[in-house]
């Protein structure tokens, strides 16, 4: 909503003067540079700008030209989207704003004093729309996908040696990843429609660019899982599938052996697929977990500086990772322990 916008910022904590209020071009939330984002002196063309704060109220006033070289023009005969934000200020730096949103104004509805059309009483201004609800749903769904479903899907595969031989871990793995893919499509759609409404470019920020990469990679990963190169299996396993299709789920073990105990050689295609599938899975998990963390910070920067959600998320991921690593280590130790008869 804010990235790439041109705004007027007034800072009540600083003395009012030529540099306060000023015109700025907003960059990323994670890298706001007060001097770097401020427009050049030749572009500081505000007329009678002022910022006053009294009795708990702050008033920012200014007059701005509708069209200026090198800046986003304001259409005097059409619709314009204006962004707004407010927050606590300090004398040293910008602080995280506590709330923000946008307002759409259709200037074609307003007539000058010389106009013969006096229907201005019917003119309306679209009320400021806060996208907090949309982004909250966006974040909850993203956490469900990357904080729950995908880690569980990977864990189901990673810990498959702990399950009974007839446990359909592969189908569970597919189902969880498939559901995560569907959720990611919804998450992506929410972001696109929100940006379309505000008129902001879709992929200006780092968070948005990483989200696009994740979305594309997820589609490739799911398709790669569906059209995978199957692992080899012994003759007895092939015979078993004729009588019991449920046993097909066991064909995906990393190590397959013949009925005489000899290891079955994998095809080159299968080995390449395993490396790519596992590598892509790890990359997507890391990117997904980072993206959720980034989204939580971005949401906090827009609406609330509270860190409790971020701390809870980190604790959840840390605890889950610890449990999975312990179970994985246990499975490896158990496999190495000689079995007695």
HEC profile of 294-321 = HHHHHHHHHHCCCCHHHHHHHHHHHHHH
Confidence at residue 240, expressed as pLDDT on a 0 to 100 scale: 45
Predicted model pTM: 0.58
Distance CA 158, CA 325 (A): 10
HEC profile of 97-116 = EEEEEEEEEEHHHCCCCCCC
The whole-chain average pLDDT of the chain stands at 77
Confidence at residue 117, expressed as pLDDT on a 0 to 100 scale: 47
Confidence at residue 39, expressed as pLDDT on a 0 to 100 scale: 86
Q: Which of 105 and 49 is assigned the larger pLDDT?
A: 49
The per-residue pLDDT for range 165-181, each reduced to its tens digit, is: 889 999 999 999 999 99
Confidence at residue 126, expressed as pLDDT on a 0 to 100 scale: 37
The mean-pLDDT minimum among 127-141, 267-281, 316-330 falls in: 127-141
Structure-block tokens of residue 304: 């609330």
Distance CA 109, CA 77 (A): 8
Tell me: pLDDT of 129 over 50: no
Confidence at residue 258, expressed as pLDDT on a 0 to 100 scale: 45
The mean-pLDDT minimum among 34-38, 185-189, 292-296, 299-303 falls in: 34-38
Calculate ∠ Cα 34-39-42, nearest 5°: 140
Tell me: pLDDT of 183 over 90: yes
- Going from the C-alpha of 273 to that of each of 150, 224, 270, 280, the distances in angstroms are 19, 8, 5, 10
Q: Which of 9 and 182 is assigned the larger pLDDT?
A: 182
Confidence at residue 110, expressed as pLDDT on a 0 to 100 scale: 66
Tell me: pLDDT of 9 over 80: yes
Distance CA 57, CA 64 (A): 23
Smallest Cα–Cα separation from 178: which of 127, 137, 219? 219
Confidence at residue 36, expressed as pLDDT on a 0 to 100 scale: 45
The per-residue pLDDT for range 210-232, each reduced to its tens digit, is: 999 999 999 999 888 887 766 66
The mean-pLDDT minimum among 29-38, 118-127, 256-265, 267-276 falls in: 118-127
What is the distance in angstroms between the CA of the first residue and the CA of the last residue of the chain? 67
Place of tokens 């979305």: 215
Smallest Cα–Cα separation from 211: which of 95, 273, 329, 294? 294
What domains can you pick out in the chain, each with its CATH number? 6-122 (no CATH), 132-229+267-336 (1.20.120.1770)
Distance CA 168, CA 273 (A): 21
The per-residue pLDDT for range 259-284, each reduced to its tens digit, is: 454 556 777 887 888 889 899 999 99
Contact 76, 14 (CB under 8 A): no
Strand 6-9 relative to strand 57-63, pairing: unpaired
Q: How confident is the model at residue 6 (pLDDT cuts 50, 70, 90)?
A: confident
């Amino acid at each position: 909503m804010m990235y790439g916008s041109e705004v007027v910022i007034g800072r009540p904590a600083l003395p009012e003067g030529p540099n306060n209020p000023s015109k700025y071009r907003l960059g990323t939330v994670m890298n706001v540079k007060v001097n770097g984002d401020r427009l050049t002196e030749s572009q500081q063309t505000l007329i009678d700008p002022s910022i006053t704060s009294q009795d708990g109220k702050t008033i920012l006033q200014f007059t701005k030209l509708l069209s200026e070289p090198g800046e986003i023009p304001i259409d005097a005969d059409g619709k314009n989207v204006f962004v707004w934000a407010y927050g606590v200020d300090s004398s040293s730096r910008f602080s995280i704003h506590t709330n923000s949103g946008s307002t759409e104004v259709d200037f074609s509805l307003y007539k000058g004093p010389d106009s013969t059309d006096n229907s201005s009483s019917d003119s309306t201004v679209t009320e400021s729309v806060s996208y907090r609800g949309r982004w909250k749903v966006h974040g909850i769904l993203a956490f469900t996908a990357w904080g729950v479903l995908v880690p569980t899907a990977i864990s189901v595969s990673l810990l498959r040696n702990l399950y009974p031989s007839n446990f359909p871990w592969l189908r569970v793995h597919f189902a969880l990843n498939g559901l995560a893919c569907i959720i990611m499509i919804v998450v992506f759609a929410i972001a696109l429609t929100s940006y379309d409404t505000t008129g902001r470019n879709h992929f200006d920020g780092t968070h948005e660019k990483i989200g696009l990469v994740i979305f594309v990679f997820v589609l490739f990963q799911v398709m790669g899982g569906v059209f995978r190169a199957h692992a080899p299996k012994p003759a007895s396993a092939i015979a078993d599938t004729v009588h019991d299709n449920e046993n097909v789920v066991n064909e995906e073990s990393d190590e397959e052996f013949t009925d005489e105990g000899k290891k079955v050689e994998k095809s080159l295609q299968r080995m390449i697929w395993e490396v790519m599938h596992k590598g892509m899975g790890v990359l997507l998990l890391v990117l997904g977990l980072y993206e959720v963390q980034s989204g939580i910070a971005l949401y906090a920067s827009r609406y609330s500086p509270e860190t409790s959600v971020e701390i809870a998320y980190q604790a959840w991921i840390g605890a889950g990772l610890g449990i999975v690593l312990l179970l994985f280590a246990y499975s490896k130790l158990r496999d190495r322990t000689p079995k007695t008869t």
